[in-house]
Amino acid sequence: MAPPLLLLKDVSLTFGGRPLLDGAELSVSPGERLGLVGRNGSGKSTLLKIAAGIVEPDDGSRFLQPGATVRYLAQEPDFGGVATALAYVQAGLAPGDDAHRAAYLLDALGVEADRDPSKLSGGEARRVALARALAPEPDILLLDEPTNHLDLPAIEWLENELRSTRSALVLISHDRRFLETLTRATLWLDRGRTRRLDQGFAGFEAWRDEIFAEEERGLHKLERRIEAEKDWLRYGVTGRRKRNMGRMRRLEDMREARRSARGPQGLVKLAVTEAETSGVLVIEAKSVSKSYGERAIVKDFSTRIARGDRIGLVGANGAGKTTLVNLLTGALAPDEGRVRIGSNVAIATIDQRRATLDPNVSLKDALTGGGGDTVDVGGQTKHVMSYMKDFLFSPEQAGSPVHALSGGERGRLLLARALSQPANLLVLDEPTNDLDLETLDLLQEMVADYPGAVILVSHDRDFLDRTVDAVVVAEGDGRWVEYAGGYSDMVAQRGHGVGAKEPPARERRPAAAAAAPSSPAPRKKLSFKDQHALETLPERIAELAAQIAALEVALADPGLYARDPKAFARTSEMLEAASAERAAAEDRWLELELMREELAAG
């Protein structure tokens, strides 16, 4: 095994009297694909900065192989002294690096090379910083939330780029699909210490849960031993007559161990305040269109959203997702068509821009509306301090202004506010931004259990797969098409992800009625091969059914295995093969029959 390029050993760091890192370790070998995971605030970003040589730990060591190159994705890049985005990216190149790669990366990430860096938005600045990190193709890439501010086409492009890089990767991300695609090992930072799993992120959560379960079993055993020692002190004959000081010390040691056991960090407790039940119909849109100047944002879009539906909206940045949400919720009037909102519909919204938060009010006032000390949640009155604790805020933060909160904390505050409002329609605009994986799990469960309707705008493919039952996709030129299922189902039906340009052959959910694609030209009839298969498959399916029935009769003979084990095994294999062939033939016939019906109707 090759020696590590980068090694952190026994790293410790204390912030504000609290140990953030306590003997943490990190090893990066050539070609490594490592996911760094942990709760928000656990110290992941700090550990990555120590690995990059930006932060000095209180204790421990950092070793970097001589000549090895490291690039760190800066959260807030410094554009001082450069006139263009291209100049900033090229400034990170070393002699011998490909100078053309800087321009290629900026183009792929959708940033014009001659843009003035001082005038870039936050998202554009992140993309330029990402281009600078990727351009030199270093030995080690340290990427902290690289998908932040990227839309789905850019995320999928970045996955492909990183999949083909020769650089070793250390990734921090809340995007499960991104981690599952790219990682081959996982480093878990928990309560200041690190544990390594030599599997990608797909195997991490089951492994983590088993560790938590083992810790719980250990604490339970410790508590039983403490109770046994207390009983001895109370009732033991020797204990009444003369205290055994050694045993007393052991009891005190166990109590101290129980007190100091730092269990898993707190979990957000999500509860929803429900409004009066809406009618079955929540939203009905018929032939809705909206344009700005010559540009069509929504064109001839129809849908019907009922109580309990979960609808996901996906598309590239600037495709018009927020405009479509505003049309559907009545916040924006369409140029053509109409939107009908059902009876008793009450809407709660989480805005991705955090625009609903006044940066100067305190956390407490943001939750209570500036009056009183209580919050109504789920039909119950809770003290604001208790409600803050449910969302992992400390009592000391009650008076902190909103602008002092981190991005993740502002996300949790918006969740807390939205979930305390009586509503039967939740509109979630990028709710997963800055949330850690555990909070995403709880938000997912809340959405799944929510009795009302949900409209979700998200670039998080895994979250969409776990929550929505239909996906509406921006196809370009104002066309929006609705597909049944989650993001992966949409890709399977559409034949490609959001980044691809080709329009789908047809819509997948009858409630939506978007304009039919003008190109490529639709097929007029089945090919000769497909027509022949459509005609002959029923006969083959019948033959396979008879063959399966005969094999099942043979296997039903209780003496077959005793007489001829080889014949029994051979017959079993034949049955399995025939069953698989029949299932495939039935699926193919159904696919061709649907195609024939569609062509006949068109």
| CATH number (domain holding residue 591) | 1.10.287.380
Q: Which of 209-223, 307-321, 501-515, 560-574 has the lowest mean pLDDT?
A: 501-515
Q: Mark out the alpha helices in 135-198 (DSSP H runs).
A: 152-164, 176-182
Q: Is 525 annotated as a binding residue?
A: no
Would you place residue 351 in the very low, low, confident or very high pLDDT band (cuts 50, 70, 90)? low
| Residue 508 annotated as lining a ligand binding site | no
Question: Based on the domain organization, do 510 and 543 belong to the same domain?
Answer: no
Residues 43 and 163 in one domain: yes
pLDDT for 489 beyond 80: yes
Asked whether residue 379 is marked as a ligand-binding residue, the answer is: no
Q: Is 42 annotated as a binding residue?
A: yes
Residues 351-360 as b/e (b if ≥16 CB within 10 A, e otherwise) read: bbebeebeee
Dihedral sign (CA 126, 128, 129, 134): positive
Tell which of 463, 492, 521 closes a domain: 521
Query: Is the confidence at residue 251, as pLDDT, over 60?
Result: no
Spatial separation of the C-alpha atoms in residues 213 and 409, rounded to whole Å: 28
In a domain, 512, yes or no: yes
Q: Does residue 516 sit within a domain?
A: yes
The annotation status of 263 as a binding-site residue, yes or no, is no
Q: How high is the mean pLDDT of the chain? A: 81
Compare 494 and 33 and report the one with higher pLDDT. Answer: 33
- Record the tokens describing residue 44, joined without a space: 């992941």
What φ, ψ does residue 27 adopt, rounded to 5°? -130, 130
Residue 49 assigned to a binding site: no
Asked whether residue 17 is marked as a ligand-binding residue, the answer is no
Residue 316 annotated as binding? yes
Inter-residue contact 446 to 272 (CB < 8 Å): yes
Q: Tell me, yes or no, whether 66 and 185 share the same domain.
A: yes
The pLDDT tens digits for 431-486 are 887 677 877 877 887 777 777 889 999 889 988 888 888 899 998 889 999 998 88
Is 29 annotated for ligand binding? no
Which residues are CB-neighbours of 264 under 8 A, at least 6 positions away? 190, 191, 212, 215
- 205-209, 365-369, 565-569, 590-594 — which is least confidently predicted? 590-594
Q: Tell whether 449 and 510 lie within a shared domain.
A: yes
Number of neighbouring beta carbons within 10 Å of residue 59: 12
Residue 160 annotated in ligand binding: no
| DSSP per-residue letters across 24-87 | EEEEE-TT-EEEEE--TTSSHHHHHHHHHTSS--SEEEEEE-TT--EEE--SS---TT-SSHHH
> Can you give the residue range of the structural domain that contains 376?
357-421
Distances from the Cα of 554 to the Cαs of 545, 563, 572, 579, in angstroms? 14, 13, 9, 15
The number of folded domains in the chain is 5
Does the pLDDT at position 118 exceed 90? Answer: no
579 is in an annotated binding site: no
Is residue 504 included in any domain, yes or no?
yes
Q: Are residues 40 and 126 in the same domain?
A: yes
317 annotated as a binding-site residue: yes
Higher pLDDT, 501 or 576: 576
Query: Token pair of 547, please?
Result: 């063959």
pLDDT of 403 reads 81
Q: Is the pLDDT of residue 11 over 80?
A: yes
| Per-residue confidence band for 397, with pLDDT thresholds at 50, 70 and 90 | confident
242 CB contacts (<8 Å, ≥6 apart)? none
What is the helix, strand, coil percentage profile of the chain, to 5?
A: 40, 20, 35
pLDDT number for residue 58: 94
Question: Are 320 and 175 found together in one domain?
Answer: no
Same domain, 537 and 512: no
Confidence (pTM): 0.67
Residues 379 and 255 in one domain: no
Is 478 marked as a binding-site residue? Answer: no
Q: Is residue 214 part of a domain?
A: yes
- pLDDT score of 56: 94
pLDDT digits (tens, 9 = 90+) for 55-102: 999 999 999 999 999 999 977 788 888 999 999 999 999 888 888 999
What is the rounded CA–CA span in Å between residue 507 and residue 498? 15
Q: Is 303 annotated as a binding residue?
A: no
Beta strand 479-484 with 470-476 is: antiparallel
Residue 589: how many CB atoms within 10 A of its CB?
18
Q: Is 41 annotated as a binding residue?
A: yes
Whether residue 407 is annotated as binding a ligand: the answer is no
Asked, for residue 565, whether it belongs to a domain, the answer is: yes
Higher-pLDDT residue of 487 and 423 is 487
Dump pLDDT digits (tens) for 497-507: 776 443 333 33
User: Do residues 181 and 223 share a domain?
Assistant: no
Q: Distance between CA atoms of 537 and 543, rounded to whole angstroms?
A: 10
Q: 112: which residues sit within 8 A by CB, 6+ positions away?
A: 85, 106
Q: Is residue 1 part of a domain?
A: no
Q: Are residues 439 and 313 in the same domain?
A: yes
pLDDT at 283: 92
State the average pLDDT over residues 350-366: 75
DSSP secondary structure string, 544-559?
HHHHHHHHHHHHT-TT
